[in-house]
Chains A and B, each alone.
Chain A
Amino acid sequence: MATKTLSPKSGAHFRLALPPLSGQLRPRLITVCTALASATFLAVAWAVSMGDFPITFTEALKAVVGIGDPGTLLIVQELRLPRAVVGVLVGFAFGLSGAIFQTMTRNALASPDMIGFTQGAGTAVVAGIVFGWTSTVSTQVLGLLGTFVMAALVYVLAWRRGTTGYRIILVGIGLQWMATSATDYLVARGMQFQAHAALGWLTGNLNGRDWSQALPLALTMAVLVPAALALGRLTRTLQLGDDVAIGLGTRVQFVRLALLVTGVGLVAFGTAAGGPIAFVALAAPQIAQRLAGTAWPPPLAAGLTGALFVVGSDLAAARLFPMELPVGIVTGVLGAPILLWLLIRANRAGSGG
């Protein structure tokens, strides 16, 4: 066993004889992930037990696995649990997707809500509401279509002898504003009732979410999350720039397309289930990176941060304010100060952004 400990910032390398596994352990990253997962679990437990009809913590946990009186079971299994599960899944999907795009483009501003994907979903859903398609097509399907069409447009328009992260950002920002303008136009020409429904969706909301939203998202994530985590290893060279990555034997265009498809899938199904919950995809990877002390957004920790962020914000939205707010308002209000605090602290410590 040639285990070698180098600087704490880099973690320790390990090598096993059987099974023949070797790699790098980052103790701080593991601690951060464990803490985030525990906190998310507690937040979900709290969300399931708190409400107009209080249920004790143990009763709530029992009800989750199907033990308890019918009233408690109904409240927990059909009302509170699906909402919390959608919150966890959407948050995880957004956080992970943000980490993928920020790593792929080597730019912290390149989250899916900055480069048009989320706005594409918004335009499609609002068009559906205003033109009355929602009676035949669900907002979920419209949201998915909007995101995929937008992602395809960004990729095709950014293509010139291959894509670069920089062109994807520029094209994405351009298309984002076009989609936002189209959405604004649709809201303005819609009837008052339609405009209200459209704005409600655009804020991002977990209110009244049931298993029909949770299930498609859970199935998609069962495929995309392992794919994203597996692709994470290939981004280690991509983070050094395209030329270096090619020199190190990375198929840059293939990896970037695979990352794009995975990241778009996550954000598309996440948006379809929860609406475009603001700021999560941008902030969660950056918060996770600063918590874990890594030089890149760590994918798993970013997903967990996103999950805790959304569930925590939804709890705050329901409990802290005199009236129940949509979660999308709270994520911006809570997330921005956390990110700013981390940035300021990092600058003071001299470790930069």
Chain B
Amino acid sequence: MIPELQAGGLQLAYDQRIVVDDLDVKVPPGRITAIVGANACGKSTLLRALARLLSPRKGAVELDGRALHSIPTRELARRLGILPQGPTAPEGLTVLDLVTRGRSPHQTWWRQWSKADEMAVHDALAATGIADLAGRAVDELSGGQRQRAWIAMAVAQGTPVLLLDEPTTYLDLAHQIDVLDLIHDLNRNEGRTIVMVLHDLNQACRYADHVIAMKGGRIVAEGDPADVITAENVAEVFDLRCQVTTDPVSGTPLVIPMGRHHTS
């Protein structure tokens, strides 16, 4: 049973600054959703609210009809995982130790390494392809390996819903594709609901089943990438003129930006 994550009448603010107002959103269960938009459009803020890292000022986020704040945080952590942007591990912490900590919501004082813990950690290391790095310190890894280790921690947590805030930031192109392929596998092989904030529209089109385009704290368009990523919508969301063609590899929309110096 895949939990349903949705929010209604959300108002999100930092101190006096309202970032998102009166927003409704429903995450398609068992699918990959990408949230896109210009900087400061509220996409990370929305993700943080969906992950209960930020309490809404109005409205509520609900998991299977229950408001997040009414669910005990440990119970919630067994059903909904979040990998924030740019997390840091203590110097010298091993990959195995980091991934093991993903099991925290399943552990008690006396039971800190159950059979389920061991299998989840083992499977997470295998799924992310870093089993041979288990004994290495996280801070000694390359950026791509490090991001895989953090994703492995979130995978070991074993939640049916997984939220990721810009999982490809600071990675080179090859590693970006690597991480996105991994996320795709998690969804297709294990049926997990994925919601991620992405910067690259073409990657969002390729990897997401559902795209949410935001501007100024509002959802401008959402749905199938082919319907959402159009020249008109990109112009509105990013204030950027572009042409949209078809990605010759995946058949999904491909955005070609124009700018001031290159026009057709």
- Which residues of A are at the interface with B, using a C-beta cutoff of 8 A? 2, 4, 6-7, 9-10, 13-15, 19-24, 106, 161, 230, 233, 236-237, 239-241, 243-244, 246-251, 293-296, 351-353
Q: Are B110 and A21 in contact (CB under 8 A)?
A: yes
Some 8 contacts from A to B, beta carbons below 8 A apart, are A22-B114, A23-B113, A239-B93, A240-B87, A248-B77, A295-B89, A295-B92, A352-B139
Q: Are B135 and A249 in contact (CB under 8 A)?
A: no
A244: which of B48, B87, B96 is its contact (CB, 8 Å)? B87
Selected interface stretch from B78-86, B183-191, B192-200: B78-86
Q: Are A246 and B52 in contact (CB under 8 A)?
A: yes
Decide yes or no whether B74 CB sits under 8 A from chain A: yes
Nearest-Cβ distance from residue B19 to partner chain A, whole angstroms: 14
Q: Are B135 and A19 in contact (CB under 8 A)?
A: no
Provide the main secondary structure of the chain A interface. Answer: loop
Selected interface stretch from B2-10, B100-108, B253-261: B100-108
Alpha-carbon distance between A29 and B102 when the two chains are bound, in angstroms: 22
Question: Which partner residue on chain A sits nearest B113 by CB separation?
Answer: A22
A295: which of B15, B91, B104 is its contact (CB, 8 Å)? B91
Given contacts A10-B96, A24-B112, A352-B139, contact A240 B89 (CB under 8 A): yes
Decide yes or no whether B51 CB sits under 8 A from chain A: yes
How many A-B residue contacts, CB cutoff 8 Å? 119
Q: Are B90 and A248 in contact (CB under 8 A)?
A: no
Alpha-carbon distance between A92 and B137 when the two chains are bound, in angstroms: 29
B109: which of A7, A230, A237 is its contact (CB, 8 Å)? A230
Residues from chain A with Cβ under 8 Å of B154 in the complex? 247
Decide yes or no whether B17 CB sits under 8 A from chain A: no
Alpha-carbon distance between A244 and B88 when the two chains are bound, in angstroms: 9
Nearest-Cβ distance from residue B131 to partner chain A, whole angstroms: 10
B111: which of A22, A243, A246 is its contact (CB, 8 Å)? A22
Q: Are A23 and B112 in contact (CB under 8 A)?
A: yes
Decide yes or no whether B18 CB sits under 8 A from chain A: no
Residues from chain B with Cβ under 8 Å of A7 in the complex? 94, 96, 134-135
A237: which of B104, B113, B114 is its contact (CB, 8 Å)? B104
Given contacts A23-B113, A24-B112, contact A10 B135 (CB under 8 A): yes
Residues from chain B with Cβ under 8 Å of A246 in the complex? 52-53, 73, 82
Q: Are B73 and A2 in contact (CB under 8 A)?
A: no
Decide yes or no whether B262 CB sits under 8 A from chain A: no
Residues from chain B with Cβ under 8 Å of A248 in the complex? 77, 101-102, 104-105, 157
Alpha-carbon distance between A42 and B213 when the two chains are bound, in angstroms: 68
Question: Which partner residue on chain B sits nearest A353 by CB separation?
Answer: B91
Question: Which partner residue on chain B sits nearest A350 by CB separation?
Answer: B140
Q: Are B113 and A106 in contact (CB under 8 A)?
A: no
Alpha-carbon distance between A100 and B89 when the two chains are bound, in angstroms: 17
Q: Are A243 and B84 in contact (CB under 8 A)?
A: yes
Question: Which partner residue on chain A sits nearest B117 by CB separation?
Answer: A22
Nearest-Cβ distance from residue B27 to partner chain A, whole angstroms: 17
Q: Are B109 and A244 in contact (CB under 8 A)?
A: no
Residues from chain B with Cβ under 8 Å of A244 in the complex? 82-84, 87
Q: Are B97 and A249 in contact (CB under 8 A)?
A: no
Residues from chain B with Cβ under 8 Å of A236 in the complex? 101, 104
Q: Are B87 and A106 in contact (CB under 8 A)?
A: no
Q: Are A249 and B78 in contact (CB under 8 A)?
A: yes
Q: Are B111 and A20 in contact (CB under 8 A)?
A: yes
Q: Are A22 and B112 in contact (CB under 8 A)?
A: yes
Q: Are A247 and B96 in contact (CB under 8 A)?
A: no
Q: Are B110 and A247 in contact (CB under 8 A)?
A: no
Given contacts A237-B101, A241-B87, contact A249 B92 (CB under 8 A): no
